[in-house]
Structure 1
Amino acid sequence: MTVARLSIEDLAKIVETRKGADPETSYTAKLLHRGVGQCAKKLGEEAVETVIASLAGDRAAIRAEAADLIYHLVVLLAAADVELEEIYAELGRREGTSGIAEKASRRI
């Protein structure tokens, strides 16, 4: 059995097409309609569920929760009008920089 692969770029394109969809018929449209705050809350819930699955050592649950986490991250990015290319550029900017040094350079 061949399982279809969906890239994060493909997922982002799908999410983008749902922006104008009916929230009554599309879960993605419903999330986007609720705004950035609700999308962020849902992302946080999925992150916690991913951590719990990881601590339990349940590979199937980790896989499922990680997929949910990535989906909800892409939805949040769409809701906040942040493009994947911006994320890739930020990662590129950090390439070759120690994680410790990069974190120390941030002003939070």
Structure 2
Amino acid sequence: MTALTRLAATIAARKGADTDSSWTAKLLAKGPEKCAEKFGEEAVEAIIEAVKGDRARLTSEAADVIYHLLVMLAARDVTLADVEAELARREGQSGITEKASR
């Protein structure tokens, strides 16, 4: 099991947990819209670090982005397995071709 898989499982397990004992539960209790807002904030922070060129800060912010992405997905009952299946479906396909098919 990868760190990403373990993180997704932890997030799923925290759904409905006590909000006083879990930041993830607190985020999820605020609803999908708040989870999406937090994801957006973290994405902007990662963009800023990418532009600055600080590798360590970008790595840290990227981890935050991935965490908040998984929380946002969980808020809408989309699993990491769902995303992996979509990536597998697109594998070997040109990005230009894939975008044209949407």
TM above 0.5: yes
CA RMSD of aligned residues (A): 1.0
Q: Work out the number of aligned pairs and report it.
A: 101
State yes or no: 1:76 paired with 2:69. Answer: no
CA distance in 2: counterparts of 1:46 and 1:104, whole angstroms: 29
Q: Which runs of 5+ in 2 are unaligned?
A: none
TM-score between both structures, scaled by the size of structure 1? 0.89
1:34 aligns with 2:34: no
Can you list the C-alpha shifts for 1:73-107, whole angstroms capped at 9, x where unaligned? 1111111101111111111111111001111111x
Aligned-partner Cα distance in 2 for 1:42–1:78: 13
Q: Which position in structure 1 is the counterpart of 2:83?
A: 87
Which residue of 1, 9, 13 maps to 1:13? 9
Q: Is the 8 A contact 2:16 2:29 kept in 1?
A: no
Letter of the 2:13 counterpart: T
Deviations 1:47-83 (A, max 9, x none): 0000000000011110110010000011111111011
Distance (whole Å) between structure 2 residues aligned to residue 29 and residue 96 of structure 1: 37
TM-score normalised by structure 2 residue count = 0.94
Match of 2:60 in 1: 64
Question: 5+ residue gaps in structure 1?
Answer: 1-5
Identity %: 57
Poorly superposed stretches of 4+, deviation over 6 Å: none
1:44 Cα deviation after fit:
0.5
